[in-house]
Amino acid sequence: MRKFGLAVLVILAGLLPAVADFGQPPDLPYENVPYDGRFTVNRLRFNPARSWPGDYAWGLDLGWNHDYPRADTHLAKILQATTRLDVATEGTNILALDDPELMRYPVTYLCEPGHWALSDAEARGLHDYLLKGGFVIIDDFRGRHWDTFVAGLRRVLPDAQLFPLEGTNPIFDVFFRIDPSTIPHPYAAPGPPAYYGVFEDNDPSRRLMLVANYNSDIAEYWEWSDTGLVPIDLSNEAYKLGVNYIVYGMTH
């Protein structure tokens, strides 16, 4: 039994060299779409609290890479088909929170904030992006991840208030009319989906800078929408929600 345990440890040691330093995931191979003025689906990468082998891009669970790249490329195609945006459908971007290139893109997506461990540079980069006019879609977190999300947000915008977004909020009627409460978490969540926003100067009459889908994971529906694993009606609603967010961010 002892020999078996040692053998397992040896195998795991061989699998985990890239993630032994939990705060510093390895360099990852990806190629962004060169900026040319078209709308490009952007995903934010952040410093994760942990990283581990997982069934995601690069064989790692980094939090921010969940549902990548299929969710991103599918959303780009839906945007091209349903809106008048000129969309880059040949690829999508991954941008660090403190990458100056982020300022070229008005709307960006971030998932699993329950796993972020922001550096000072990352917190400052996201702070500057939001105040400069950027709009961030935060998705795929639930239950106890709320506290980690709020703690990170406090480092980005110390005075920010999170306002519940009811179904009557204009963002749910900016392009498609939808009822966001009808899009359940695709797996299991400890409560119903809830939506929160951060407004400029904490004034709900002003620009919405950030929207957070709590107890929700709309990108999961985007990722598997072409497989039959998720109901078509729910995939459609998840796409409508994503399109609404992006149209809002591009027009406010």
Q: What is the DSSP string of 133-146?
A: T-EEEEEEE-TTHH
Burial of 170 (0-12, 13-18, 19+ CB in 10 A): exposed
pLDDT tens column, 156-192: 999 999 999 999 999 999 999 999 999 999 988 888 9
At 174, is the secondary structure helix, strand, or coil?
A: coil
Pick from 48, 88, 44, 52: nearest CA to 68? 44
Model pLDDT, residue 189: 81
**pLDDT confidence of 137, banded at 50, 70, 90?**
very high
Model pLDDT, residue 3: 42
**pLDDT confidence of 28, banded at 50, 70, 90?**
confident
- Domain at 2-251, CATH class: alpha beta
Residue 21 has pLDDT above 80, yes or no: no
Residue reference for tokens 């009319």: 177
Model pLDDT, residue 26: 65
Model pLDDT, residue 17: 38
pLDDT tens column, 55-111: 999 999 999 999 999 999 999 999 999 999 999 999 999 999 999 999 999 999 999
Model pLDDT, residue 75: 98
Averaged pLDDT, 207-211: 98
Q: Which two tokens stand for residue 180?
A: 């966001």
CA distances from 28 to 94, 108, 126 (A): 10, 20, 21
Q: What angle do CA 56, 62, 63 make, to 5 degrees?
A: 90
Residue reference for tokens 């072409």: 226
**pLDDT confidence of 25, banded at 50, 70, 90?**
low
Domain residue spans of the chain: 2-251
